[in-house]
Copies of this chain bind each other. A is one copy, B any other.
Amino acid sequence: MLAPVRGALAVSTDMLLEGRHFFADVDPESLGHKALAVNLSDLAAMGASPKAFTLALALPAVDEAWLTAFSRGLFGLADEYRCELVGGDTTRGPLNLCITIMGEVDPSLALRRDGARAGHDLWVSGNLGGAAWAVAHRQSRGDWARPAALASTRFEAALLALHRPQPRIALGRALLGVASAAIDLSDGLAGDLHHVLQQSSASAGQPLAARVDLTALPMHPVLRGLSPEVQYRFALAGGDDYELLFTASSELRATLQAIADRLGLPLARIGAIEEAASSLEKTPRLRWIDACGQAVTLALQAHDHFLTPSSPG
Residues of A within 8 A of B (CB): 1-15, 17, 19-21, 46, 52, 54-58, 62, 86-94, 96, 98, 100, 102, 105, 107, 110, 305-307, 309
Residue of B nearest to A55 (CB): B13
Given contacts A2-B8, A5-B5, A7-B4, contact A13 B100 (CB under 8 A): yes
Distance A180 CA – B118 CA, assembled complex (angstroms)? 60
Flag if B89 contacts A13 (CB, 8 Å): yes
Flag if B14 contacts A305 (CB, 8 Å): no
Flag if B1 contacts A107 (CB, 8 Å): yes
The residue from B1, B5, B20, B93 contacting A20, defined by CB atoms under 8 A apart: B93
Flag if B15 contacts A86 (CB, 8 Å): no
Number of this chain's copies in the assembly equals 2
Flag if B4 contacts A91 (CB, 8 Å): no
B residues in contact with A7, CB < 8 Å: 4
Flag if B9 contacts A89 (CB, 8 Å): no
Flag if A93 contacts B17 (CB, 8 Å): yes
Residue of B nearest to A86 (CB): B11
Q: Given known contacts A17-B91, A56-B100, A94-B94, what 4 new A-B pairs fall within 8 Å (CB)?
A: A1-B107, A3-B8, A13-B98, A58-B96
Flag if B87 contacts A11 (CB, 8 Å): yes
Flag if A1 contacts B11 (CB, 8 Å): yes
**17 A-B pairs in the complex with CB atoms less than 8 angstroms apart:** A1-B105, A3-B9, A4-B5, A4-B8, A4-B9, A11-B86, A11-B102, A12-B87, A13-B54, A13-B55, A54-B100, A87-B100, A91-B305, A92-B305, A92-B309, A94-B96, A102-B102
